[in-house]
Structure formats: structure tokens, C-alpha cells
A and B are shown apart, each in its own frame.
Chain A
Amino acid sequence: SQELEQSPQSLIVQEGKNLTINCTSSKTLYGLYWYKQKYGEGLIFLMMLQKGGEEKSHEKITAKLDEKKQQSSLHITASQPSHAGIYLCGADTMDSNYQLIWGAGTKLIIKP
């Protein structure tokens, strides 16, 4: 099974609505990274979380790392067409030997 599980796999949201994507680890997280990927393009860094309970924002995107450091949620407020893409979480964990492991991604479609 995947060490880093993302849910949902895909999401269709009406423009202007809020949404949440989750990333759950089977191991304690040392660092959790959120990236965004548009089709045919590379990954763009959004934010990094390291401390339990930490919350960061980037424009209308907010991500939080839970206190136990095994799950992160990414929340988009008032979604816009520009938010469409694939959101990937990456993490280094107590077992990953300083390498990033990645979730499979959540594909977000924004309906106008």
C-alpha cells in the first residue's frame, strides 16, 4: 500500500466553492510539501509544513499539518479556474531515509 495516501483522487468543484484535499501518512512526518502540477508541466512548490499544528497560506490556499504529524489538509477558499490542476503531497518521514515520498495526486477540476 502507498505510504502517502491522498484523497480524493479527483474532485470536480463549482467555481467559487471551497474544497479540501487530504494527505495521510502511515509514518510520522518530518516535513510535508504541497505541490501543484498542470497537465504537461512540472511541479510548482506551494508550501512546506514541518511542525505539528502548523498552518500556512498561499493566496487562497491554506494547508495544515495535524498535531500528530501524520496528516495534512489543503483547503482552497472560493475556488477559481486557475486552481485547476493536480495537487501532490510529498513528504520525508522517519523511514524515508531523507528522500521524498509522494502521494498519487488529486486532480482538481473547476466548473465555471
Chain B
Amino acid sequence: EAGVAQSPRYKIIEKRQSVAFWCNPISGHATLYWYQQILGQGPKLLIQFQNNGVVDDSQLPKDRFSAERLKGVDSTLKIQPAKLEDSAVYLCASSKGTTNTGELFFGEGSRLTVL
């Protein structure tokens, strides 16, 4: 079974530029999560999708971050314009169920450096 795929693995941009990250969850997983993990901290949930609907985006900085999962499969997270404090690893995870209890399957992450 293929795992959660993320790309790109690494991205370096200058502040005020834009960037997009892509995630393809495990086949059949209804729920998809985007997390931001700043060095030395635990992951922070940015947005949770159930199929193609948003369950929780309360911590997504909507003035600069956007995410979509149009067909309920893969997802894109965009940052525009980027700030220095957006430097982090962006983790995508998926789960079979529709709640947060249970095992999450994580991708390897996309490491963003904003200069």
C-alpha cells in the first residue's frame, strides 16, 4: 500500500513570494490533514478535510494560507505571500475514519525556508 505522498520535499523562497505544496493521501482515506511543524515544536493543525469538505480550519491564517481538496482525494496548500515565520515543515496526514481518534498516516513533509 502506497503511503502519503508529498511534494516538493524542500522549497526555499524569499518573503512575499508564493509557494504551493501537494499531498496525495493513502487511497480510500476520507480524512486529510495539513499540519505546520516549526522546529522544536509539535505539529499544529492548519486544516482538516473530510472528503472534499472542510472540518476545521480555525488555525489556518486565511489572509495568506489557502487549501483545497476539490475531488476529495489529493490536496494543495498554498501560501501567498510568505513571511519569514512561515519557515517550517508542512506535514500532510490522512486517516481512514472521519474522526481524529485512531492512527494518522503522515507523509515525509515539505520543508519550507523563507529568506
Contact = CB atoms under 8 A, between A and B. Distances in A.
B100 A43 contact: no
B43 to A, nearest CB: 5
Nearest to A45: B103
A33 B42 CA distance: 13
A44 interface: yes
A106 to B, nearest CB: 11
24 contacts: A4-B42, A30-B101, A33-B104, A40-B111, A42-B107, A42-B109, A43-B91, A43-B104, A43-B106, A45-B104, A48-B102, A48-B103, A88-B43, A98-B100, A98-B101, A99-B45, A99-B48, A99-B56, A100-B100, A100-B104, A102-B42, A102-B43, A104-B42, A105-B40
Contacts of A105: 40-42
Interface of A: 4, 30-31, 33, 35, 40-45, 48, 88, 90, 92, 97-105
B46 to A, nearest CB: 11
| Range, interface on chain B | 20 to 34
Given A99-B56, A100-B45, A104-B42, A42 B100 contact: no
Contacts, number: 58
A48 B115 CA distance: 39
Nearest to B4: A42
Nearest to A98: B100
B42 A90 contact: yes
Interface of B: 4, 40-45, 48, 56, 91, 93, 99-109, 111
A42 B108 contact: yes
A39 B21 CA distance: 19
Nearest to B101: A31
B101 A92 contact: yes
A92 B91 contact: no
A45 B105 contact: yes
A81 B107 CA distance: 23
A102 B105 CA distance: 15
